[in-house]
Structure 1
Amino acid sequence: MRNKVYFPFLVILLSIIVMGCGNQENTRSVNENQTTNEEQSTNTSEKMSSNSDSSDPLTTHQTAVPTLFIHGYGGTAGSFNGMLSRFEENSWGKSELTLTVQQDGFISGIGEWRNEPNNPMIQVLFADNKNNEWNQADWIKAVLVYLKQTYQIEEVNLVGHSMGGVSSFRYLVTYGDDDSLPIVNKFVAIGAPFNDFVTGNEEQSLDALIQDGPLVISQRYNDFAAGIQQYPKDTPLLNIVGDVQDGSDGDGTVPMRSALSIGHLMQTNGIEYHEEIVTGSQTSHSQLHENTQVDKLVADFIWSTP
Structure 2
Amino acid sequence: MRKSLLVSFLVILFGFISMGCGNEKITESVKEGQVPDASNSIDTSEINLSSSDSSEPLTPDEIDVPTLFIHGYKGSEGTFSGMVSRFEARSFGKKVLTVTVQPDGSVSETGEWQEQTNNPLILVVFADSENNEWNQADWIKAVLSYLNNMHQIDEVNLVGHSMGAVSSLRYLITYGSEGSLPTVNRFVAIGAPFNDFVTGNEEQTLDELNQNGPLVMSERYRDFAAGIQNYPKETTMLNIVGDIQDESEGDGIVPIKSGLAISHLMQTNGLEYRYEVITGLKAYHSQLHENTQVDALVADFLWDTP
Normalising by structure 1, report the TM-score. Answer: 0.84
Structure 1 runs not aligned, ≥5 long: 1-25
> How does 1:1-306 map onto structure 2 within 5 Å?
30=33, 35-38=34-37, 41-46=38-43, 54-55=47-48, 57=50, 62-304=62-304
Deviation at 1:62, TM superposition (A): 2.6
**C-alpha separation in 1, matches of 2:252 and 2:168:** 22
Distance change (3 Å), C-alpha of 1:195 and 1:130:
same
Structure 2 runs not aligned, ≥5 long: 1-28, 54-60
Please list the CA deviations of residues 92-144 of structure 1 after superposition, one character each: whole Å capped at 9, or x if unmatched.
11000000000000111100000224100000000000000000000000000
**Relative to structure 2, which stretch is displaced further, 203-212 or 110-119?**
110-119
Q: What SS does the aligned partner of 2:180 have?
A: coil
**C-alpha separation in 1, matches of 2:264 and 2:63:** 31
Equivalenced residues, count:
270
Q: Which amino acid aligns with 1:290?
A: E
**C-alpha separation in 1, matches of 2:145 and 2:291:** 32
**C-alpha separation in 1, matches of 2:45 and 2:127:** 29
Please list the CA deviations of residues 149-201 of structure 1 after superposition, one character each: whole Å capped at 9, or x if unmatched.
00000000000000000000000010111111100000000000000000000
**C-alpha separation in 1, matches of 2:224 and 2:114:** 36
Structure 1 residue runs of 4 or more that deviate by more than 6 Å after TM superposition: none
Structure having the larger proportion of residues in helix: 1
Q: What SS does the aligned partner of 1:193 have?
A: coil
Deviation at 1:42, TM superposition (A): 3.5
**C-alpha separation in 2, matches of 1:98 and 1:193:** 25
Q: Which amino acid aligns with 1:205?
A: T
Q: What SS does the aligned partner of 2:74 have?
A: coil
Q: What SS does the aligned partner of 1:240 have?
A: strand
**C-alpha separation in 2, matches of 1:136 and 1:182:** 17
Please list the CA deviations of residues 254-291 of structure 1 after superposition, one character each: whole Å capped at 9, or x if unmatched.
00000000000000000011100000011100000000
Normalising by structure 2, report the TM-score. Answer: 0.84
Say which structure, 1 or 2, has more relative contact order (CA 8 Å, 6+ apart): 1
Q: Which amino acid aligns with 1:151?
A: H
